[in-house]
Chains A and B, each alone.
Chain A
Amino acid sequence: MVILMSFEKNLLEMKKLIKKKPTKTQSLKSFVVPQKPNYTTAWEDAGLTMIENEFGIVFEKKTIYEPTYFHGDIKLSDVFEAFSLWNSFQGVHPISTDGQQVVFFDTETTGLKGTGTYIFLIGQLVWKENHFEMIQHVLADPSHEVALLYESGLWKPGHTIVSYNGKSFDWPQLQTRWVLNRDHLPKLVDPNHIDLLHGARRIWRNELDQFKLTKIEEEKLGFKRVGDIPGYLAPIIYLDAVKSGIPTTLLKVLHHNEWDILSLLTLFIHTTKLILQEKYNDSSVSSTNIGKWFSDLKDFDNGQNVFEQVINQYSKIDAAQAFYLIGYEYKRRKQITLAYEAFEKSLINLPDQLQIQAYEELSKIDEHFKKDFSKAKHHVGLAIILIDKSKNLKPLQRSRKMRIFEKRLQRILIKQNKLFPGEAQISTGNE
């Protein structure tokens, strides 16, 4: 808006600038090594190293961490423990590494989307023989983009990328930049990619209400940033550094990116241990979520295993959802009595929607296995009361559920009436 206003003011002046010519065809391609920007010395003085390759220049910052370095509560070298947990893991899991070189990766960009958004910073953290090494590549100016992309080495095959929201943002953005410069760059192959945002969402669903990395650092990784710049300022800071040539504030963006990547590593360690290491857990909710994640991946044994741990370790109230979920595991294995017990125990502390489901499961077992129609009627009745009074159902959901349960009730009543009183047989299920 500000630009439009000043633009209007200049309208009269500007009109003289419009000139027309017959359209001529011009080639937009062909590569020429761009000139160095005039601020290279200033950026070098600020601690960045200028690297020259066949496509121009790129600035680099390298930082070394000893294996014993702590970021928040977690020691960097614990990552090897995490790798070995995955190495001995038999199943398939989205967070699993597979022995390839692992690169912890994050970018900073000048905007949110589209071909006019540049990546101006690529940070990568890797293990080098006896230490961790963070390499950050900074775009010298937009004409040196090919140099940056080439120098990043992300096109080299054989690594696993670990990112936070990289599947939806950083990597597609990298692909866009690659297409724009594809005439000069080696092909970009899609690597294995572990997006820890997906993992965090699964693990802390119903526990955290935000999944910003800084939030997770504070809540789960024991790390609190001091003097950080907010991420949304990064574009403006870079634009300013290029326009003014002064890199002071830009270094803060590098620091921001460095923290992001260190947290990626510790989050990876924490996440892995939560998933794979028995007795390593941070809450009943996250453990239950992890169990459900296994079940959804069809890894039922691990799923059931996790639920059992939660049940053993936490109070009946905290374990209610684990009971509920393990109920389905038992049901799937046709262990009807166990399933019934689990659903009954879950009722103690469930959100309304799940509680309605639990009543439904109980009434199904009553009706089809136990042939105990009055018990079935009882459970359906409780569900109907809950549907009616619950404040957490949307009107459409409420009426749909109500119809389903009323239908169920009708059927049970018909079945009940077909039997004379006292002749109802009680089945014990089949274990």
Chain B
Amino acid sequence: MIKKQTIADILTEWKKDPIMRERIVHWHTIEKKEAGLADFPEDLHPSIQQALKARGINQLYTHQRQAYDSARNGKSFTAITPTASGKSLCYHLPVLQSIVEDPSSRALYLFPTKALAQDQKSDLNLLIEQMNQDILIYTYDGDTSPGIRTKVRKAGHIVLTNPDMLHSGILPHHTKWVSLFENLNYIVVDELHTYKGVFGSHVAHVLRRLKRICHYYGSNPIFICTSATIANPKELAESLTNDTHKLIDQNGAPSGKKNFIFYNPPIVHPTFGVRRSAILEVRDISKRLYNEGIQTIVFAKSRVRVEMLVTYLKELNKKKLNDQSIRGYRGGYLPSERREIEKGLREGTIRTVVSTNALELGVDIGQLQACIMTGYPGNIASAWQQAGRAGRRQDEALIIYVAQSTALDQYIVNNPSFLLGQSPEEARIYPENLIILMDHLKCASFELPFKTTEQYGEFEIQELLAYLEAEGILVKTSDKWHWMSDRFPAHEISLRSASQENVIIIDRTIPVSTKVIGEMDRYSAMTLLHEEAIYLHQGIQFQVEKLDWEEKKAFVREVDVDYFTDANLAIELKVMSEDQKKIFKNGSMSYGDVSILAMATIFKKIRFDTHDNIGSGPIQLPPEELHTSASWLSFDRPRGWTDSILSDAMTGAAASIASFIPLFVQCDRRDIHVVPQVKSVHAELPTIFVYDSYPGGIGISERVFEVWPELLAHVEQHVMGCPCDQGCPACIGPQDAVVGVKPEVLKLLGYLQIELTSNGDPHVI
């Protein structure tokens, strides 16, 4: 039997292999880092010291000590805590200390998901057991049995929950939680960096409501936040909690040696610059690591890709009966299935897991040996979170970034310093979003009547309350606005997505025992669960037989086919108002409100492996409407350009612009859309629109309005630097024609920059 190779062995081999040397564009080693330690605080209760010592902890990391000191001084703080840096002690220590000192003291822990709260509970329980103190901790979520709810409310020293439960299960019933709210000293917000975009904006309001209730009961809790590395943790924490924060960013935790490899798949079609599919490369690398027995996590960007990779990798084991060593993990699996996979990873029975970013978060799966990223996860913070999954303390860790053909991916593989050197992006929230603000204003009014002199968080809201009165929801008396409706607003407002109802996926392969196998948000369902779509779940293919859009149910049946499906979304866009405009000689930039009509039109069947198009069909679904903010560029048609050349060039430029926006504003690629129109409805001019994917806007296109010149310059530079001749997926998106439009795109980008920068002062109206 051949001895299995270690990571070091494999790396030595790759260094010698000419093929691998060509594909590995950059090789970066992060050396081992020693721990920064500090003594226990003098006042730390003996029982806590004893518990720490029982765990073999005789000193704290420097950041844990700073966290303790800050909390004890009554200062809200945010600590930067990479994976496996002992972040939970940053909040456990001050919280437990306060409870030991005063048993009436309370703390509330917020985790982005139910699963994380349950994880932390078992860990905290162990610590309390070792302390040998009478401290009661409970999770409070949809799974909490009615029998113990009263006890949780009255006696729980620490309540672990999630923002959704706080929003609809706790705040609207605050009178049942008097002992919590009267004595609340600490609010812990774990995984701060996940609270961005729409979700973060909602949570910002939930926290403003929480503070309002605390204030009503006379408590003034401090906030403790922990976050992955992002550019603006302090700013995010401050706008999320509406409070000032001290930043603790010097991490004292040690780490092992890490090898970070930038891998670019080989070019298979030099003219078009087409590279081999990243998925296939990842498949081959994962197989290699699997065969050497190296426990690996593979990240893929979409649910579909996760399922494709699982299907490919399971081929390795198809001769073994019921083999469970390769698994997928993503949203849409049932909780029990997820728990089982997490356990398998900790215990080592699962050797390879393929996941979406669902496993970026602090779900406890232990430390793995290798991590493969299929493409750039969209932002630097996520990339480091994913990379952090690999790395056991004594062991060398291997992180492989496999670039896809997209512009952003190619940019990163060729500019590793972007990922390695630069500081990560900003995470932004936008609590000013009117729809979100109004939603939570209703909830807050339901919870406690507003006074006619009151403000809400940083918002002046009296006129908005008058609007709600006109809508018949509030009644104004001499000094207050009272909720006067039989509705329960928190139930009508979901923090997680714009479309509140999810589509339930029902497997009816066996007619007598149909079962629910997953769920999906409405917007994704339009393109992934239309009739005849192939839906993949744990590597098993299902075909959607019927999509009941009214009832939000998709009925699927197991099938075995050699293709997957991909659907198109048609967009109709109208400008409703122009709030800001800069006019130039031959064009203008604007920012304002738009209305979008999105409709799924057709789908294609695409064969596995070859990725050939082998058929198509129509999708019959009603359009979804969206009112949101947008920024757009209108310009005069360049002289001598036909409609068709202009259209191709604009499509190419739009694809490129879309991939670079996440570089300027921290957002997911799917938070924005870029739509080119050769003749826009409102100005009858060629126009490129960038709009936010969420009703009411989420602040992204507003930022784009400010950075158009830099954005265009960056895009042009990248397209120019791309080694292809005619345009390729890496620069201007996939090209249909044999002769691409790269020169035209470059011309257009150059033209736009001249129109928008060199024409002297813009006239602002």
Contact = CB atoms under 8 A, between A and B. Distances in A.
Contacts of B485: 110-111, 116, 235, 239
Contacts of A18: 432, 434, 437, 459, 464
Contacts of B515: none
B447 to A, nearest CB: 5
Nearest to B176: A176
A19 B464 CA distance: 10
B446 to A, nearest CB: 3
B513 to A, nearest CB: 11
B175 A20 contact: no
A25 interface: yes
B577 interface: yes
Contacts of B437: 18
B446 A114 contact: yes
A179 B178 contact: yes
Contact of A175 (B175, B486, B593): B175
A116 B173 contact: no
A20 B458 contact: yes
Given A18-B459, A20-B458, A236-B486, A142 B477 contact: yes
B20 interface: no
A29 B218 CA distance: 10
Interface string A153-193: 00000000000000000000001100110000000000000
A6 interface: yes
A117 B482 CA distance: 10
A115 interface: yes
A14 B434 CA distance: 8
A15 B577 CA distance: 11
Contacts of A118: 482, 484
Interface residues of A, number: 46
Contacts of A32: 479
A28 B215 contact: yes
A142 B576 CA distance: 40
A21 B456 CA distance: 10
A12 interface: yes
Contacts of B480: 142-143
Given A6-B471, A142-B477, A239-B484, A116 B459 contact: no
Among A28, A34, A242, the one with the most B-chain Cβ atoms within 10 Å of its Cβ is A28
A14 B441 CA distance: 14
Contacts of A6: 471
Nearest to A179: B175
Contacts of B446: 114-116
A174 to B, nearest CB: 11
A360 B249 CA distance: 71
A12 B467 contact: no
B696 A11 contact: yes
Interface residues of B, number: 53
Contact of A28 (B172, B451, B577): B451
A26 B175 contact: no
A142 B475 contact: yes
Nearest to A14: B434
A37 interface: yes
Interface in B467-515: 467, 471-473, 475, 477-480, 482-490
Given A34-B477, A113-B488, A239-B484, A21 B467 contact: no
Nearest to B576: A12
Contacts of A8: 627, 695
A24 to B, nearest CB: 7
Interface in A19-47: 19-26, 28-29, 32, 34-35, 37
B172 A21 contact: no
A26 B451 CA distance: 10
Contacts of A404: none
Contacts of B280: none
Interface string B420-463: 00000000000010110110000001111101011101111001
Given A11-B593, A28-B451, A111-B488, A21 B472 contact: no
A35 B434 contact: no
A236 B480 CA distance: 20
Given A17-B467, A18-B432, A239-B485, A115 B175 contact: yes
A166 to B, nearest CB: 17
B467 A23 contact: no
Nearest to B629: A15
Contacts of B455: 21, 23-24, 26
Given A12-B593, A115-B447, A110 B484 contact: yes
Interface in A81-117: 110-117
A300 to B, nearest CB: 29
Interface in A195-229: none
A141 B473 contact: no
B175 A37 contact: no
A414 interface: no
Given A17-B463, A239-B484, 14 more contacts: A3-B473, A7-B471, A12-B593, A14-B438, A17-B464, A19-B459, A25-B215, A37-B477, A115-B174, A115-B175, A116-B488, A116-B489, A141-B475, A142-B477
9 contacts: A11-B593, A112-B486, A113-B172, A113-B173, A142-B482, A143-B479, A175-B175, A180-B448, A239-B475
Interface of A: 3, 6-8, 10-12, 14-15, 17-26, 28-29, 32, 34-35, 37, 110-118, 141-143, 175-176, 179-180, 235-236, 239, 242-243
| 8 nearest CB pairs, A to B | A116-B446, A143-B477, A142-B482, A116-B483, A179-B175, A235-B486, A35-B478, A19-B460
